[in-house]
Chains A and B, each alone.
Chain A
Amino acid sequence: MQELVKKAKELIESKEVDLLIGYQSDGEKGAKPLFVKNTQQAEKLIFNQYCLNNLVTYLKRPDVKALKKVAVVAKGCDIRSFVMLLSENQVSRDAIFIIGMTCDHVVSPDGTGENEKCTTCKVHNPHLADVVLGAPVPEKIAKDKPVHYAQLEKLNAMSQEERWAFWQEELSRCIRCYACRQACPLCYCERCIVDFNTPQWIDTRSNPRGNFAWNIVRALHLAGRCINCGECERVCPANIPLMLLNQSLQEEAQEKFAWEAGYDPESQPPLTTFRKEDDEDFIR
């Protein structure tokens, strides 16, 4: 923690950055974002297993983009979303100082144990950071090993009718607050398709038709891009298991396109490229 505070003060004092986004504690077992503009505020910086938020999300905000240089405290998983923002021309590498934190795991959103996303993590030690703080953590999964999400298995084991019923039940709780969209580091459009009415692709009302269409388009727009940070699901006030959709498409991208998002800023997201020999068994 000392080194984080020290580094933050250094960056602020030298005016290398205009703003530093990090974590402060929120009760004994919690953490929340902290926006550091002076050395005094920097004293409050913490990093521990309760630091769940993906702070890279703040980089898509116009007021943050307007600043000359911003530092952000990021775990390896968060950096994966930064890599996607780089690849998609949403941030300038020079405008961001990444303070990468090594991280064994964070807690699950309900605070009861290890976060499930950490079991598939390949970047306990941050890639692409300007500085890495914290002791190295042994990586448990090789970079080239495909990731499988255990909770998908239950869904996959259901019949099509059961899946339909499952999702209709889950999505019936959707109140269309769009917290999922706001929290997602990769939902950065200034005009979302749902706010578009020529044509009105998606019913904006919170009804079964609109809820279904919205969740299709949300998942589809993240296809091949989602880096499994889990923020959409964490912020959902209706506890809809949104990550099941994202993870299903992550597995598809791995299986069909040998692609995992967020590691290489030079590579192209899979829906913006192709291989002639791509699988087409489903096409008659």
Chain B
Amino acid sequence: MSENWEPKIITFVCNWCTYAGADLAGTSRFKYASNIRIIKTPCSGRIDPMFIVSAFEKGADAVLISGCHPGDCHYNEGNYNARRKFTMMKRLLDTLGVDTRRVVFAWCSASEGIKFSRLVNEVTESIKKLGPYTDYHSLNQEER
């Protein structure tokens, strides 16, 4: 691990709750680690489990996925459907030996700017301890 290595964390959020929560963290000037890159989708229901795979392939050290709390979904049910997909994806990745500490799911509402900033800091800290995800990234190097 090089001295100045910084984790890359890709974050997929829904537009209505978590993106707005991140905006609130901004307007409230809650400082957090700069390691995350947010990709906005309309709803956590739009977040495809394959995004996680692609993110790791492209060099992410962790993936953070966040949507509205149950009952808060702008589209009523998108997050409930998402929750089932994430349940299955998490089990599958776990079975395959993927380090699921690097795949974090959260609910974060538009009013939870503080939760969002804390979440980012916690995840960044924990990934700094785990180091770069060389196992997964090494899949890119070996060609058979």
User: Which of A160, A172, A213, A270 sits near B97, CB closer than 8 Å?
Assistant: A160
The CA-CA distance from A201 to B50 in the complex, in Å, is 8
Does B33 reach chain A (CB closer than 8 Å)?
no
How many angstroms between the C-alpha atoms of A192 and B106 in the bound complex?
Answer: 31
| Contact between A248 and B92, CB atoms less than 8 A apart | yes
Residues of A within 8 A of B97 (CB): 158, 160-168
Contacts of A223 in B (CB 8 A): 88, 92
Chain B proximity mask over A32-70: 1 for CB below 8 Å, otherwise 0: 000000000000000000000000000000000000000
Interface residue stretch chosen among B21-29, B34-42, B77-85 = B77-85
Q: Is B91 close to A, CB under 8 A? A: yes
- B46 smallest CB distance to A (angstroms): 15
A interface bracket (residues with beta carbon within 8 Å of B)? 35 or more
The answer to whether the Cβ of B54 comes within 8 Å of any Cβ in the partner chain is yes
> Which of A165, A172, A249, A284 makes the CB contact (< 8 A) with B105?
A284
* Least distance between B86 CB and chain A CB atoms (Å): 7
- In the docked arrangement, what's the CA distance between A164 and B93, Å? 10
Closest to B100 in A: A160
Residues on the B chain within 8 Å of A155, using CB: 95
B88 touches A245 (CB 8 A): no
B99 in the interface (beta carbon within 8 A): yes
With A224-B88, A274-B77 as known contacts, state yes or no: A248 contacts B53, CB within 8 Å. Answer: no
The interface on chain B, measured as residues whose beta carbon lies within 8 A of the other chain's beta carbons, has a size of 40
Tell me if A258 is interfacial: C-beta within 8 Å of chain B: no
Q: Would A209 and B140 count as touching, CB distance under 8 A? A: yes
Residue B3 CB within 8 A of the other chain: no
Least CB distance from A9 to B in Å reads 45
Write out the residue numbers on chain A whose beta carbons fall within 8 Å of the beta carbon of B92: 216, 219-220, 223, 245, 248-249
In the complex, what distance in Å separates the CA atom of A13 from the CA atom of B95? 51
- In the complex, what residues of A have CB within 8 A of residue B104's CB? 284
A163 to B92, CA, bound (A): 12
If A207-B142, A208-B144, A282-B105 touch, does A244 touch B95 (CB 8 Å cutoff)?
A: yes
| CB-contact partner of B96 in A245, A257, A283, under 8 A | A245
CA distance A165 to B77 in the complex (A): 38
Across the interface, do A220 and B49 meet the contact criterion of CB distance under 8 Å?
yes
For B71, the closest partner residue in chain A by CB is: A276
Enumerate chain A residues within 8 angstroms of B84, measured Cβ to Cβ: 257, 270-271, 273-274, 278
Q: How far is the CB of B144 from chain A (nearest CB, A)?
A: 5
By beta carbon, the residue of chain A nearest B103 is A282
The verdict on A191 contacting chain B, using a C-beta distance below 8 Å, is: no
Give CA–CA (A2, B12) in the complex, Å. Answer: 61
Known: A208-B144, A220-B88, A282-B105. A213 touches B96 (CB 8 A): no
Question: B residues within 8 Å of A by Cβ?
Answer: 49-50, 53-54, 57, 70-71, 77, 80-81, 83-100, 104-107, 119, 135, 138-140, 142-144
Report which A residues bind B (CB closer than 8 A): 155, 158, 160-168, 172, 201, 205-209, 212-213, 215-217, 219-220, 223-224, 244-245, 248-249, 252-253, 256-257, 270-276, 278-280, 282-284
Known contacts A223-B92, A244-B95, A283-B86; 13 additional CB pairs below 8 A are A164-B98, A164-B135, A165-B97, A172-B144, A206-B144, A219-B92, A220-B49, A224-B88, A271-B85, A271-B88, A274-B81, A276-B71, A282-B87
